[in-house]
Amino acid sequence: MTQTLTLNHETVAILNQRSTPFAAVLAVKFAVCVTKMASRRRTRKALAQLEPWQLADVGLTPRQAHDEFIRVFWKA
């Protein structure tokens, strides 16, 4: 199982303190962004490999799964 890197309000407050270098804040925000995009891509790829009966279990039609799969990974 993989963990998704997220920024909550407390983490952002810590990163925005004057003692944290701007480059470090930027690096963390970039890492979060890249991690989210990779997670979306991986999830959509897995969705495309599900059988119709599995899609029905999660409440999706094959068409809806296909539409989600073809979305670009940077769009939520």
53, two tokens: 């009966």
Model pTM?
A: 0.68
3, two tokens: 């963990």
35, two tokens: 């991690």
What pLDDT does 1 receive?
A: 44
- Give residue 3's identity as a one-letter amino acid code: Q
- Can you tell me the distance from the alpha carbon of 51 to that of 55, in angstroms, rounded to the nearest whole number? 6
Closest of 60, 38, 40, 35 to residue 50, by C-alpha: 60
Confidence of residue 10 (pLDDT cuts 50, 70, 90): confident
pLDDT tens digit string along 21-67?
889 889 999 999 999 999 999 999 999 999 999 999 999 999 999 99
Q: Are 24 and 15 in contact (CB under 8 A)?
A: yes
Confidence of residue 2 (pLDDT cuts 50, 70, 90): low
Between 69 and 74, where is the model more confident? Answer: 69
